[in-house]
Amino acid sequence: MSENADISAVGELLGEANRVVILTGAGISAESGIPTFRGEDGLWRKYRAEELATPSAFHQDPKLVWEWYDWRRGIIAPVEPNPGHKVLARWEEIFPEFALITQNIDGLHQKSGLKNILELHGNIWKMRCTEEGTVTENLDSPLKEIPPLCPSCKALLRPHVVWYGESLSSTILQRAFLLSSQCEVMFVIGTSAVVQPAASLPLSATETGAKVVEINLNPTPLTPYVDISLMGKSGEILPLIDKNMKRKS
Ligand code: OAD
């Protein structure tokens, strides 16, 4: 099928659907200027994310890990949602049951106005006390102190994100699997689909009969299992789908 036929097939799917779930990864924010994890511009100094986003890296050198997060926060702070984010925010208003599950920690879906968001991997603008577990929002960029300390007990604060080797919140994960298994249409956008358990969510959607649409620059391990694969930039493809969507209401 040609790309145009695929776009109108997706437009038709959405014309009928009530329960729509979206799973996003770093690719959706790439056109806003945020480097993806596995892209070539994802490196900081000589480190890969897998070396710094770990409990042991933080234990060994909290200052280094916070410097990396401060750098990432500095990149994200001035960034605006792109047309892809904006289409998804609009869809939240249109579909009777709409949910967005994201692996991103950048907060750009919130910035685009979307409300119903399940953040699988946390949020870079939140910090958690390593002693008390209290979660607070902190929008400072650059940070006023590195590493930041808890204002009430002076213990180290850590980014409120999920690191390699850590478990995701079971409440959030259960909800994500439930939504995926109950939706009619699922979009998988801008994720390399190699990090579990997020990469299994679309499979639970296909198993229960949902149509799965993937939008990515490149094929992923998920591509053979999806119903429609659209290769290209999500910031261009999502507005095209939106334009071709045939909804009665
Ligand atoms: P990756 O960096 O692994 O993958 C980004 C994906 O987006 C790739 O498949 C690209 O081809 C695609 N892509 C890039 N630009 C795009 C664009 N403009 N439009 C559409 N697709 C585009 O990022 P994730 O899959 O999100 O986890 O990574 C998953 C998790 O791995 C992250 O949440 C993070 C990381 O380790 C944790 O930190 C726990």
Q: Are 111 and 213 contained in the same domain? A: yes
Residue 159, ligand 1, Cβ within 6 A: no
CATH number of the CATH domain containing 94: 3.40.50.1220
Coil/strand/helix, residue 212: strand
Q: Looking at ligand 1, which atom is closest to the CA of residue 50?
A: 36
Q: Helices 3-16 and 234-244 sit at what angle, rounded to 10 degrees?
A: 60
Q: Is residue 249 part of a domain?
A: no
Q: Is residue 139 part of a domain?
A: yes
Taking residues 124-151, what's their average pLDDT?
A: 97
- Digit-coded pLDDT (tens) for 107-120: 999 999 999 999 99
CA 139 to chain centre: 19
| Residue 180 parent element (H or E) | helix 170-182
Contacts of 162 (CB under 8 A, 6+ apart): 120, 121, 122, 168
The reported pLDDT for the residue numbered 42 is 63
Residue 32, ligand 1, Cβ within 6 A: no
Q: Looking at ligand 1, which atom is closest to the CA of residue 49?
A: 36
- Digit-coded pLDDT (tens) for 220-231: 999 999 999 999
The vertex-165 CA angle with 99 and 153, nearest 5°, equals 90
Q: Which pLDDT band holds residue 6 (cuts at 50, 70, 90)?
A: very high
Q: In what order do the strands lie in the sheet with 122-129?
A: 135-137, 122-129, 157-161
Instruction: Select from 22, 37, 76 the residue to mutate for testing ligand 1; criterion: most ligand atoms less than 8 Å from CB.
Output: 37
Q: Are 67 and 177 contained in the same domain? A: no
Could you say which of 105, 137, 161 is where a domain stops? 161
Q: Are 172 and 210 contained in the same domain? A: yes
| Domain residue limits at 205 | 3-34+81-121+168-244
| Residue 109 parent element (H or E) | helix 108-111
Q: Are 21 and 134 contained in the same domain? A: no
- Compute the distance from residue 54 Cα to the ligand 1 centre, in Å: 18
Q: Are 74 and 180 contained in the same domain? A: no
Task: Give the gyration radius of the chain's Cα atoms.
Answer: 19
> Into how many domains does the chain fold?
2
Residue 26, ligand 1, Cβ within 6 A: yes
Q: Are 102 and 48 contained in the same domain? A: no
φ and ψ of 7, to 5 deg = -60, -45
Q: Are 185 and 73 contained in the same domain? A: no
- Compute the distance from residue 195 Cα to the ligand 1 centre, in Å: 9
The residue whose CA is least distant from atom 33 of ligand 1 is: 103
CATH number of the CATH domain containing 53: 3.30.1600.10
Burial zone of 97 (CB within 10 Å; 0-12 exposed, 13-18 middle, 19+ buried): middle
Q: Are 74 and 86 contained in the same domain? A: no
Q: Are 68 and 132 contained in the same domain? A: yes
Distance CA 108, CA 159 (A): 17
Q: Is residue 132 part of a domain?
A: yes
Residue 100, ligand 1, Cβ within 6 A: no
- Compute the distance from residue 102 Cα to the ligand 1 centre, in Å: 11
Active site (catalytic) residues: 121
Q: Taking the model in full, what pTM does it have?
A: 0.95
Contacts of 29 (CB under 8 A, 6+ apart): 79, 82, 85, 104, 106, 108, 190
CA distances (Å), origin 81, targets 21, 75, 77, 78, 231: 19, 13, 11, 10, 21
Q: Are 115 and 17 contained in the same domain? A: yes
Q: Is the pLDDT of residue 1 over 70?
A: no
- The mean predicted confidence, pLDDT, of the chain is 94
Q: Are 70 and 155 contained in the same domain? A: yes
- Compute the distance from residue 25 Cα to the ligand 1 centre, in Å: 5
The residue whose CA is least distant from atom 15 of ligand 1 is: 27
CA 144 to chain centre: 27
Residue 83, ligand 1, Cβ within 6 A: no
The residue whose CA is least distant from atom 16 of ligand 1 is: 27
